[in-house]
Chains A and B, each alone.
Chain A
Amino acid sequence: MSLYSQLMTDYKHAVEMTFVADARYKMFLSGLGVTLEITVGALLLGVLIGTTVAILRVYHHQTGRMKFLNFLMNCYLTIFRGTPVVVQLMIWYFVVFMSLNNPILVAIVAFGVNSGAYVAEIARAGIMAVDIGQTEAGRSLGLSAWQTMRFIVLPQAFKNVLPALSNELISLLKETSVVGYIAVVDLTKAADLVRARTFQAFMPLLFVAVTYLLMVLILTQFQRLLEARLRESDRRLAK
């Protein structure tokens, strides 16, 4: 019984030190906010870049035009998929934006540009999986190439790639945990700072691990709902 009460005492002590003392829970909360801010910002930037690159690359593939731009886009994909994101992050922060004192913005750019390279390939696969007859039908009605892409091809492509896109978002969320390298205090860095101050390692790290896991579970659930909604048009029975 004394072993049990000893454990309980240690546990209470750890919780007290990690979250309560000096109101350290606030560090976790603000860290969580930073993690979400970077993830959402990078997601939007990544989807914007990725979709644009994918459309241009499909256009090049179909028409053979814009060879030089396609070459540049290939370089982009190769470089950003071929180097570690944490190295890219440091290059953006310490080299490219060395005079900009806004590390969160730099993190959004770094993760967004990196994610864009992955989204570009996901989106390209999704666009190319849509039957060419869909494009022909749109164009034959007099819609422009862009209108056909926007109203006919992209919605179907998005439905095709939703699982892959959701994977990318999950990776992105977890990858942001390296922003501590450029002195941003996100969820992970907050836990690390608390660990260093309290000499309690297990409690803060367990807490952030569970928090990431919960966020991923919520995202997965959200993806399921969205997917079910988009599959509405596949149902064979009339309502």
Chain B
Amino acid sequence: MEKTTQAMIEVQELHKSFGEHEVLSGITETIQKGEKVVVIGPSGSGKSTFLRCLNLLETPTSGRIFVNGVEITRKGCKVDLLRQKMGMVFQHFNLFPHKTILENITLAPVQLKLMSRKDAVDKAMSLLTRIGLADRAASYPSMLSGGQKQRVAIVRALAMNPEVMLFDEPTSALDPEMVGEVLSLMKDLADAGMTMIVVTHEMGFAREVANRVLFMDGGKILEQNTPKEFFANPQHPRLHDFLAKVL
């Protein structure tokens, strides 16, 4: 299929069921390069599952997903290559506890032979300097605070030079006082032009950073709009309800 302007990510009629339980009931969505899309919705609405389908951490039950015009849901797609270009940040950080901060960041680029060890270390150190944690390079994750861990996790994904970053509730497991440092790093990333898809409960971040906000409930995208319109003029009654509760 020829397209004139190629979308970064294109999702067609995505369905996902766990056993009898359908979590995603037909999602169709296009995300352009450089867009910052924030996905909000109540727990169990399918937003995390949607995000995890995009890099195939979950295998869709049906539907098609294209990344840079290549269908990743077809059989025989090189999933590992795809994932090298899609960074992911998890709610619980998932740093490797037996590796130092530096090793956490350099492991994948070195093992995948994308960089020499020296280049990977240089790159990791410059990223760590950027987030003010260069002096913790030799520490283990257990010695860092939650906010520091999540910032290292973001940097670990960035070390792969991804084209898009997926964030799965990156601040939900943090103490309130540490949320700010993580959001500000994410904002820096957004300002630098990174394509981002963020599942979050941080309405302030959605308002400030997003190009588009999607509202999901019951496995469907019920509404989407620019952040200004989204928060000021919610159309769907379910979104009214949701915003009334969280704002």
Pair A237/B143 contact, Cβ less than 8 Å: yes
Give the residues in chain A near B96, CB-CB below 8 Å: 134, 137-138, 152, 156
Q: Is A140 an interface residue (CB 8 A)?
A: yes
Give the residues in chain B near A138, CB-CB below 8 Å: 96, 108
Q: Is A136 an interface residue (CB 8 A)?
A: yes
Pair A235/B142 contact, Cβ less than 8 Å: yes
Q: Is B107 an interface residue (CB 8 A)?
A: yes
Give the residues in chain B near A236, CB-CB below 8 Å: 142-143
Give the residues in chain B near A235, CB-CB below 8 Å: 140, 142-143
CA distance A236 to B149 in the complex (A): 13
Give the residues in chain B near A171, CB-CB below 8 Å: none
Give the residues in chain A near B42, CB-CB below 8 Å: none
Q: Is A239 an interface residue (CB 8 A)?
A: yes
Pair B83/A140 contact, Cβ less than 8 Å: yes
Give the residues in chain B near A143, CB-CB below 8 Å: 80, 107-108, 111-112
Pair A139/B83 contact, Cβ less than 8 Å: yes
Q: Is B97 an interface residue (CB 8 A)?
A: yes
CA distance A236 to B153 in the complex (A): 18
Find residues 186-239 in chain A having any chain B CB closer than 8 Å to their own CB: 230, 232-239
What number of B residues sit within 8 Å (CB to CB) of A?
A: 35
Least CB distance from B197 to A in Å reads 13
- Chain A interface size, under 10 / 10 to 19 / 20 to 34 / 35 or more: 20 to 34
Smallest CB-CB separation from B136: which chain A residue? A238
Pair A151/B107 contact, Cβ less than 8 Å: yes
Find residues 113-146 in chain B having any chain A CB closer than 8 Å to their own CB: 136, 138-143
Pair A136/B98 contact, Cβ less than 8 Å: no
CA distance A239 to B100 in the complex (A): 12
Q: Is B90 an interface residue (CB 8 A)?
A: yes
Q: Is B157 an interface residue (CB 8 A)?
A: yes
CA distance A144 to B181 in the complex (A): 32
Give the residues in chain B near A234, CB-CB below 8 Å: 97, 140, 142
Pair B94/A142 contact, Cβ less than 8 Å: no
CA distance A151 to B103 in the complex (A): 11
Q: Is B195 an interface residue (CB 8 A)?
A: no
CA distance A156 to B193 in the complex (A): 37
Q: Is B88 an interface residue (CB 8 A)?
A: yes
Give the residues in chain B near A137, CB-CB below 8 Å: 88, 90, 94-96, 153
CA distance A144 to B87 in the complex (A): 15
Give the residues in chain B near A159, CB-CB below 8 Å: 98
Can you list, as one digit per residue, whether each of A131-170 has a CB less than 8 Å from chain B (1) or not (0)? 1011011111111100100011001100100000000000
Pair A142/B92 contact, Cβ less than 8 Å: no
Question: Most chain-B Cβ atoms within 10 A of its Cβ — which of A144, A152, A236, A239?
Answer: A152
Q: Is B49 an interface residue (CB 8 A)?
A: no
Q: Is B192 an interface residue (CB 8 A)?
A: no
Least CB distance from B117 to A in Å reads 14
A141 and B57 in contact (CB under 8 A), knowing A147-B111, A234-B142?
A: no
Pair A142/B142 contact, Cβ less than 8 Å: no
CA distance A237 to B142 in the complex (A): 9
Pair A141/B84 contact, Cβ less than 8 Å: yes
Question: Most chain-B Cβ atoms within 10 A of its Cβ — which of A140, A237, A238?
Answer: A140
Find residues 167-190 in chain A having any chain B CB closer than 8 Å to their own CB: none
Least CB distance from B216 to A in Å reads 21
Pair A141/B108 contact, Cβ less than 8 Å: yes
Least CB distance from A60 to B in Å reads 17
Pair A238/B143 contact, Cβ less than 8 Å: yes
CA distance A190 to B238 in the complex (A): 83
A140 and B97 in contact (CB under 8 A), knowing A233-B140, A238-B139?
A: no
Q: Is B160 an interface residue (CB 8 A)?
A: yes
Please list the 9 inter-chain residue pairs (A to B) with the smallest Cβ-Cβ separation, ordered nearest first. Answer: A142-B84, A137-B94, A141-B108, A140-B88, A233-B140, A133-B94, A142-B83, A142-B80, A233-B98
Q: A: which residues have CB within 8 A of B?
A: 131, 133-134, 136-144, 147, 151-152, 155-156, 159, 230, 232-239
5 additional A-B pairs beyond A141-B160, A143-B108, A151-B107, beta carbons within 8 Å, are A137-B90, A140-B55, A140-B57, A142-B83, A235-B140
17 A-B contacts (beta carbon < 8 Å): A133-B92, A138-B96, A139-B57, A140-B57, A140-B83, A140-B90, A142-B80, A142-B83, A143-B107, A143-B108, A152-B96, A159-B98, A230-B98, A233-B97, A234-B97, A234-B142, A235-B140
